[in-house]
Amino acid sequence: MSEETQRNVRCLVAKVGLDGHDRGAHVITRAFRDAGFEVIYSGLHKAPEEIVQAAVQEDVDVLGISILSGAHNTLVPKIIEGLEEYDAFGDTLVIVGGIIPDEDRSELEAAGVDAIFGPGTPMAETVEFIEDNVPRRD
């Protein structure tokens, strides 16, 4: 193992808005950790601005937004706008997990979400998606 580079996938698991259910976020945080990722967990009830701040300052490769409240159509685009403001959108993989009705998917994808994982998605699938799609930097 060379000292030369020590790159780890950095990931922010974010809970946004008035949504107090974080079991899913905890489970995914743990799975990401076990996959060798460095995971920053936002904690509950964060405003979109806080998520943007964390994503920018922590320079994460992946932003995973967990949302079960139904407010994804307003909150997710707000976060993406914030990332754009700090030039952080282009090379951040944005994924959404939670309850997203089928008819909302295309709108979120158009807003810049790279993938949406609904309930019952095997953990390995999400991890694999990240490993395959994490932006190459430097």
Contacts with other proteins, residue ranges (CB under 8 A):
2-8, 10, 29-30, 32-43, 46-47, 49-50, 53-54, 56-59, 86-88, 90-91, 137-138
CB of 9 or CB of 115, closer to other proteins: 9
Spatial separation of the C-alpha atoms in residues 34 and 81, rounded to whole Å: 31
Strand partners of residue 10:
38
Q: What angle do the packed helices 102-111 and 72-85 form, to 10 degrees? A: 10
CB of 116 or CB of 127, closer to other proteins: 127
**Residue 81 and residue 31 in contact, taking contact as beta carbons nearer than 8 Å:** no
CB of 89 or CB of 100, closer to other proteins: 89
Tell me the closest approach of the beta carbon of residue 41 to other proteins, in angstroms. Answer: 6
**Residue 65 and residue 91 in contact, taking contact as beta carbons nearer than 8 Å:** no
Tell me the closest approach of the beta carbon of residue 101 to other proteins, in angstroms. Answer: 30
**Residue 82 and residue 112 in contact, taking contact as beta carbons nearer than 8 Å:** no
Tell me the closest approach of the beta carbon of residue 48 to other proteins, in angstroms. Answer: 10
CB of 87 or CB of 103, closer to other proteins: 87
